[in-house]
A and B are shown apart, each in its own frame.
Chain A
Amino acid sequence: MELSLTKEALEVMHQDALESFPNECCGFFYGHDGEFRNVEVAIPVNNSKHGDQRRRFEISPLDYMKAEQKALELGLTLQGIYHSHPLHPAIPSVHDLKQALPFFSYVIVSVKEQRIEDTRSWILNEQGEFQEETLNNLTTIK
């Protein structure tokens, strides 16, 4: 599926990645699904991982529940999760794959110090492997 992000949603993800560096950030995004997946809103959530957050993120069950409620309030679909890879490429790790869910898009932001290196999106295919999604509008926004 193709993913289109509004400028605002992308800026939220990038800002979160920069502010959280050297730790990983994470959050949810919401929008409308049709022929394309149009992402309209991104909202950061707390990285609840205990211990080293430079290589790991975790979202608490209560924050997940709130995200589902938020989708209902907004009248939008909970479309996926973004997180950052500080000093690592925007490619899913084995750990990302192990915890991945069908349907959700996974946006990964590669960040180095004060610079966004790359932003890519991934989704599980029928075989349970990550497949890259086309991200629209990025070239003009990045």
Chain B
Amino acid sequence: MAKIIIPTPLRKFTSNEASIETQGGTVGEAILDLTQQFPDLKQNILDEEGNLRNFVRIYLGDEDIKVLEDTHTFVENDSVISIIPAIAGGSK
């Protein structure tokens, strides 16, 4: 079980809840559980193949899961997972 922090722009898909308790032993399972609880959220996080979208980063605590075991990273009961949208832009 892990808590997932929902970024503000995606909270309209979670009934304005900022954090959601999820089931699952890994980051991937927790995210899958989240998208099953809130199906409208799925297309904003996962692509058609069920992989994380390019513009979404997932952090476990303050570490990018890419430097851990990616979606296979184990989670504990008190783990905090953050969904972080990529923020970028520019004039040209």
A-B interface contact total, Cβ < 8 Å: 78
Interface segment out of the listed A8-16, A35-43, A53-61, A133-141: A53-61
Q: CB within 8 Å of B: which of A69-103?
A: 71-72, 77-78, 81, 83, 85-88, 92-93, 95-96, 99-103
Interface residues on B, range: 20 to 34
CA distance A136 to B60 in the complex (A): 40
Chain A, interface residues (CB within 8 Å), range: 20 to 34
Chain A residues near B38 (CB, 8 Å)?
Answer: none
Contact A58 B87 (CB under 8 A): yes
Q: Give min CB distance, A62 to chain B, whole Å.
A: 7
Residues of chain B touching chain A, judged by Cβ–Cβ distance below 8 Å, are 5, 7-9, 11-12, 18, 55, 57, 59, 62, 64, 82, 84-92
Q: Which residues of A are at the interface with B, using a C-beta cutoff of 8 A?
A: 24, 26, 49, 55-59, 61-62, 64-65, 68, 71-72, 77-78, 81, 83, 85-88, 92-93, 95-96, 99-104, 106
